Amino acid sequence: MNDTDDAFLFYAIGKMPPAKRPNIVSVRNASEPQMVHSVFPATTTLTEIVNILKDMAGTVYGIYQYCTTLNSAFACWGVIAGLS
């Protein structure tokens, strides 16, 4: 699996009884970064915050998208090839 929302899947699986949990592996695409920013002033609107973070993420994605996506694809195929 290569999924942006993989945390939701793991949360749901974690709520299942252990005997019923499927065997899974998740490879996260590094070109979809988790953004960190200094504290925003209290007057900053939610829309402004979202736009600032989208611009930051867009810059990272635009620069590294190709090479990180390839590495994620190679990691997925490596996991699949190693399954027995």
How high is the pLDDT of residue 2? 47
Q: Which of 17-26, 27-36, 42-51, 65-74 has the lowest mean pLDDT?
A: 27-36
State the pTM of this model.
Answer: 0.47
Tens digit of pLDDT for each residue in 27-50?
A: 776 666 677 889 999 999 999 999
Residue pair 32/4 in contact (Cβ under 8 Å)? The answer is yes
> Is residue 27 within 8 Å of 4, Cβ to Cβ?
no
Q: Within 10 Å of residue 4's Cβ, how many Cβ atoms?
A: 9
